[in-house]
Structure 1
């Protein structure tokens, strides 16, 4: 079984590589083919992602990687990576993906019709500017194979490069993630 980290719009960064090393995960799916883009801000990373990649292309990258190389995977996704995992969850079976943990996938709000075919844990931040987190959490928690929780931190709390990075929360989640991938 392989554990795979699916990046946010920042892509493969030194901080994400460090997280993977701590988790003993060697596979990273990112939107930029493994190139560290060196973005200076979330706004810059998001704008570049939207202009040059887009959600559907990123979803296609993830699906191709998973289906062709890594059956029986555990996926860990952040932001747009989490949303891509969510979108993938009704396209591939539990033979392909065994389990997924998705952090602050805000685009999930636009994909509520998805019916996951594998176990998926959604970790939402305490608030989001574009939607009611509690309402979405409640709606998605009723779906089969879904566990949805809300934490007391903001979107990006696991990303060192985010304005909302939280070292204490990162450490707490790292311990939980280690249990999933060991």
Structure 2
């Protein structure tokens, strides 16, 4: 991993499941090293267990807890790697957003449908961030939130006419066309993310 770009793939409430492993494998095929931190201690949930998974994640981890667990790992990676990039899905995207607001934690972050970002929308990222929103979010107005963040220098937003989970081929909400376009934008973004300047 020394001197290479590493992409840290951050899981949803379900844990390190097939979708996360396939995402990491696709990134490795593009030449990146990857890590998939397990914030659930080896536990995974099926999609049918969504309510239990949601309760478990938010009672044992949470957005700030995820950030606090990830930052020491990101600091170690920064000492060994050329670049550290984050790719997060749902709660993993919210964790990536919080980490991106910490100076020097990462060189870039891609956040897929991070609906809880709305609770931390006032944070200013310290690295480039690509927000890939699902327009059909039941809990809030995505267009309104995206517009409120439009002035942030480091933030690029794209809204897809799809549901939360659209990039996960194992989900009932999977949308192949939106997933393809989002992944294309994510690949382009990751290639262009700058190396954080050395202190």
TM-score range, shorter chain: 0.7 to 0.9
1:140 paired residue number: 149
Alpha-carbon distance, 1:21 to partner: 0.8
Whether the 8 Å contact between 1:42 and 1:162 is mirrored in structure 2 is: no
Over 3 Å counting, the alpha-carbon distance change for 1:174 and 1:36 in structure 2 is farther
2:86 pairs, out of 61, 65, 75, with 75
Structure 1: stretches of 5+ with no match in the other structure: none
Give the RMSD, CA atoms, in angstroms: 2.0
The 10-residue stretch of structure 1 (64-73 or 108-117) with the greater mean CA deviation from structure 2: 64-73
SS of the residue corresponding to residue 29 of structure 1 reads coil
1:131 paired residue number: 140
Structure-1 separation of matches of 2:157 and 2:94: 13
2:35 paired residue number: 27
Structure-2 separation of matches of 1:177 and 1:21: 15
Structure 2: stretches of 5+ with no match in the other structure: 192-199
- Describe how 1:27-176 pairs up with structure 2 within 5 A: 27-33=35-41, 35-39=42-46, 40-70=48-78, 72-93=83-104, 96-176=105-185
Whether the 8 Å contact between 1:8 and 1:30 is mirrored in structure 2 is: no
SS of the residue corresponding to residue 20 of structure 2 reads helix
Whether the 8 Å contact between 1:78 and 1:105 is mirrored in structure 2 is: yes
Aligned length: 179
SS of the residue corresponding to residue 15 of structure 1 reads helix
In the alignment, structure 1 residue 15 sits paired with structure 2 residue 19: yes
The 10-residue stretch of structure 1 (119-128 or 70-79) with the greater mean CA deviation from structure 2: 70-79
In the alignment, structure 1 residue 6 sits paired with structure 2 residue 6: no
Task: Give per-residue Cα distances to partners, 1:13-57, cap 9 Å, x unaligned.
Answer: 122212211121531123224x25143332222122122222222
Structure-1 separation of matches of 2:130 and 2:167: 16
Alpha-carbon distance, 1:87 to partner: 1.3
Alpha-carbon distance, 1:109 to partner: 0.8
Structure-1 separation of matches of 2:177 and 2:27: 17
